Each structure stands twice: as C-alpha cells, then as structure tokens.
C-alpha cells in the first residue's frame, strides 16, 4: 500500500499569531515538505491545482519537477489535475515530460475541481463539466497511446495527424486516478477505463465514501478489468498528532475553529466523529486508519492533508515526521498482513512497464517521428536531396 501527503497550498493566516506566509515562502515550504516525505519513508507527494487566491498551486508540473530534482524515490502526483479547464494536449505533453525527467515517478489524479469561476476563466462552461471531463480524458488517453491522432470533438479544435511529444516513458503513460467526491459519473469513468478511483473524503462521512467506492468497484468488474475487490482505490485523510492526545486537541483547536473550510461549522469533536479527521495521538490515528478498509475494502493508496489552516511550517514538518516514522510503518505492516493475495499492489511505473513487456515485448524507444516539417511539408531527407 502507498502512503503519502498532499497539499492544496492555501495561504491562510496563523490564527495564533496572525502571521501570513508570502507566496514564495509557501511554495518553498511545499518543496521542503516533499523532500521530508521521502526522507521519512512516505511513498507519494501530491499537490493540488488552483488558479485563484488564496492558493499558489497553479502549475503542478513546475513544482513537482523541482521536487523531483531533489528526490530519488517518492512518487510525484497531483491532488487534482483539472481535466475540464486544461487542454488535454498540454496535459499529455507536460506529464510525459515530467515522467522522463523523474524516471517515471509520476501519476495524476484527474478531477473537475471545486472552484466554479475557473471554468469561464479558461473558456469553458461549468454546466458542461461532466461532458468536458469525459471528452477531454478520452482524448488524453489517445494522445498517450496513439503515436498519431486524428480527432474531432465538441470542446476544442480538431487535431489532424498530431503527435504529442515527448511520447510516454517506456511506452507507458502515467497511471491515472479519477478523483471525485460526489459524482457517480466520474466513478463510472474510472471503472470504464480500468483506472484508479480516489475518493478524497476529507469532508465526508464514511457512509458516503463507501457508496461511491462500492459503485466504482461494481462497475470495474462489470467492464471486465477484474473482480470488484481488485479495483484500484485511494482515500484522502487528515490528522493532527502529538504524543499526548489532549495536547493535540488543544493545539489544533484554534486552527480548526478559524480555518476557512471549517470555521463556523460543526465543532471539532463533531467533525472528527463524522469524517476521517483524527486529532490525537499517533496510536489513535493508527487505530482510525486501520479501520478504513472495513468500510471500503482493501485499497492501494492513503493520502493525508497535513499543512492546511495556517499551521506553521515547523509544526507541519513535525506532523510529517510523526506520520512517516510512527504511524505509517504500523499501518503498512498491519494492512499488508490482512490484504488478500489477489488484491493488486498500488501501481508503479516499473510494474506497469513489466506488465506491458510481458504482453507486447520490450518497448522500442528509438525515435521514429521524422514524418515531415509542419511548415514546409518536407522531410529531412527531401531537404538534403534538394541541395
């Protein structure tokens, strides 16, 4: 099972001091968090995508490439890649490029996002969000799996004899998780393609998460990708820990009470009972997250949000270290012991390359796209003959 952290890189005042980090500071803090995540043994570091204040994650590939250059093992992912407002061509290019530069340590969580105004900013209609997501993702898959694409759809200009470059590393595209909290159509989409489904259930009760995951699993089996319990499932999570549980409660309360996403709503006690947020000792976090599989079945990826609500960087780094050194080793051991043998491991680039080679033989990575000059229509050898 893979364990990791994700950030949405919100710039939120620290309610205990009033201090607000700069954009530059917040971005550099994210990089430091990603490096520490690898050092303490976590598997995944992910960042969200937003194009509005108070967030500073408008360019995930830029940030992930910078983290990738300073790490060696950790998988670089997204908490959301906006499949609706990004051009599928640009997604195909950017993430294949990131694949090459990081040795395949890349996957994505596709999503529609939760910021309505982003649609008109990028020339789209939010009322068509589901249709755009379906069409754009179908094109993205073709761009990664077909060397030359002819395509016409409803939401972007046609493509004629288009080759997305660079081609995916080793002929294997980045693995895709479809992220959705409330849209059964997206669970259906993930199941149709045999992709992963990540339910970032940080604000939702487990009863709702169970229903969404169950739908995905049933449809995954329906489409012939395997048994329902073999589908690829990921969950979101939140925790705040101290050695003494009451210390954790006392320290985190002002952050909870004043956070834009929490403040004015249910109390912290009510929220922790209803959602995966766990505030207490590492042992309490372990106990809570060992039980997640009782709700959704054995799953492949567990992500944690650790750096929100104005928490200072020193505290966030302490939380990541507690997660990596005291919580995850126990969860990894206990969940591995209970996992049935026929439930697949979380996908990695190396494993997917091996699977592709077993089916199709060794991938030929020689360059083979000298098909012409888009400006003159001439091939390189034709130009030479003219001289």
Structure confidence by residue, pLDDT tens digits, 319-361 = 999 999 999 999 999 999 999 999 999 999 999 999 999 999 9
Q: What is the pLDDT of residues 190-228, one digit of tens each?
A: 999 999 999 988 888 899 999 999 999 999 999 999 999
Q: Are 196 and 178 in contact (CB under 8 A)?
A: yes
Task: State pTM to two decimals.
Answer: 0.93
In degrees, rounded to 5, the angle at the alpha carbon of residue 87 between the alpha carbons of residues 81 and 88 is 75
Q: How many CB atoms lie within 10 A of CB 328?
A: 24
Band of pLDDT at residue 23, cut at 50, 70 and 90 = very high
Band of pLDDT at residue 285, cut at 50, 70 and 90 = very high
* Res 387: pLDDT: 47
Band of pLDDT at residue 383, cut at 50, 70 and 90 = very low
> What residues make up the domain containing 191?
2-386
Q: What is the pLDDT of residues 123-145, one digit of tens each?
A: 777 788 789 889 999 999 999 99
| Mean pLDDT on 360-385 | 66
CA 237 to chain centre: 13
Cis ω for the linkage preceding 54 (within 30 of 0): yes
Q: Are 104 and 349 in contact (CB under 8 A)?
A: yes
* Res 374: pLDDT: 53
Q: How many CB atoms lie within 10 A of CB 212?
A: 22
Position 170 pLDDT exceeds 70: yes
Q: Which of 321, 276, 347 has its CA nearest to residue 2?
A: 347
Q: What is the pLDDT of residues 48-71, one digit of tens each?
A: 988 888 989 899 999 999 999 999
How many domains does the chain divide into? 1
CATH at residue 352: 3.20.20.30
Beta bridge partners of 278: 239
What is the dihedral sign for C-alpha 73, 74, 76, 77? positive
* Res 188: pLDDT: 95
């Amino acid at each position: 099972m893979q364990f990791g952290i994700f950030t949405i890189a919100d710039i939120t005042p620290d309610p205990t001091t009033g201090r607000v980090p700069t954009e530059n500071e917040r971005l550099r803090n994210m990089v430091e968090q990603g490096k520490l995540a690898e050092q303490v043994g976590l598997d995944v570091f992910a960042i969200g995508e937003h194009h509005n204040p108070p967030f500073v994650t408008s360019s995930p590939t830029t940030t992930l490439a910078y983290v990738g250059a300073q790490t060696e093992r950790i998988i670089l992912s997204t908490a959301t890649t906006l499949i609706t407002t990004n051009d599928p061509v640009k997604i195909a290019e950017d993430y294949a490029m990131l694949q090459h530069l990081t040795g395949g340590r890349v996957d994505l969580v596709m999503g529609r996002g939760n910021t309505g105004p982003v649609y008109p900013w990028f020339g789209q209609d939010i009322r068509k969000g589901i249709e755009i997501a379906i069409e754009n993702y179908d094109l993205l898959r073709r761009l990664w799996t077909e060397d030359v694409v002819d395509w016409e759809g409803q939401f972007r200009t046609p493509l004629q004899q288009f080759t997305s470059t660079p081609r995916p590393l080793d002929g294997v595209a980045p693995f895709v998780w479809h992220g959705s909290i409330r849209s059964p159509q997206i669970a259906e989409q993930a199941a149709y393609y045999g992709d992963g489904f990540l339910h970032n259930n940080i604000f939702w009760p487990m009863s709702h998460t169970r229903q969404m995951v169950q739908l995905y699993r049933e449809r995954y089996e329906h489409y012939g990708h395997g048994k329902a319990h073999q589908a690829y499932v990921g969950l979101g999570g939140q925790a705040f820990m101290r050695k003494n549980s009451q210390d954790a409660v006392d320290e985190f309360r002002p952050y909870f009470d004043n956070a834009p996403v929490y403040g004015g709503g249910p109390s912290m006690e009510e929220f922790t009972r209803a959602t995966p947020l766990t505030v207490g000792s590492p042992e309490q976090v372990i106990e809570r997250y060992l039980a997640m599989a009782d709700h959704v079945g054995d799953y492949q990826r567990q992500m944690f949000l650790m750096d929100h609500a104005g928490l200072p960087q020193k505290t966030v780094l302490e939380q990541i270290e507690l997660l990596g050194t005291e919580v995850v080793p126990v969860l990894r051991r206990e969940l591995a012991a209970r996992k049935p043998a026929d439930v697949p491991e979380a996908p990695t680039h190396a494993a997917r390359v091996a699977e592709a080679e077993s089916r199709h033989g060794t991938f030929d990575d020689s360059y083979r796209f000298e098909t012409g000059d888009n400006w003159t229509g001439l091939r390189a050898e034709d130009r030479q003959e003219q001289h």
